[in-house]
Amino acid sequence: MPNKFNADMTLGDLLKDPVSEKFLRDLPDFGKALENPQMQQAMGFSLRMLQQYSEQMAPGQFTKDALEQIDAGLKLL
């Protein structure tokens, strides 16, 4: 059975589902970032794309390790 959720899904799609939305909002740093109004502009981007962009704009803020941990958690949902 394929994983229902993963880091290649768009942020908008992940936030539309109550299960994945709760998971993301419960992550300490990521949950805080979701409160930023600018995140509305990122709804069409996958978490993987957001991590790459974040690494360019603010290195160390959203690392590949953090992305992989989020991806693993999403796959368990």
* pLDDT of 3: 80
Whether 37 maps to a domain, the answer reads yes
Whether 72 maps to a domain, the answer reads yes
**Domain count for the chain:** 1
Tell which wins on pLDDT, 53 or 3: 53
Whether 4 maps to a domain, the answer reads no
Domain containing 20: what range? 11-76
39: left (phi over 0), alpha (psi -120 to 50) or beta: alpha
Q: How far apart are CA 40 and CA 58, in angstroms?
A: 18
Whether 3 maps to a domain, the answer reads no
Whether 1 maps to a domain, the answer reads no
Q: pLDDT tens digits, residue range 6-47? A: 999 999 999 999 999 999 999 988 889 899 998 999 999 999
6: left (phi over 0), alpha (psi -120 to 50) or beta: beta
2 — pLDDT class (breaks 50, 70, 90):
low
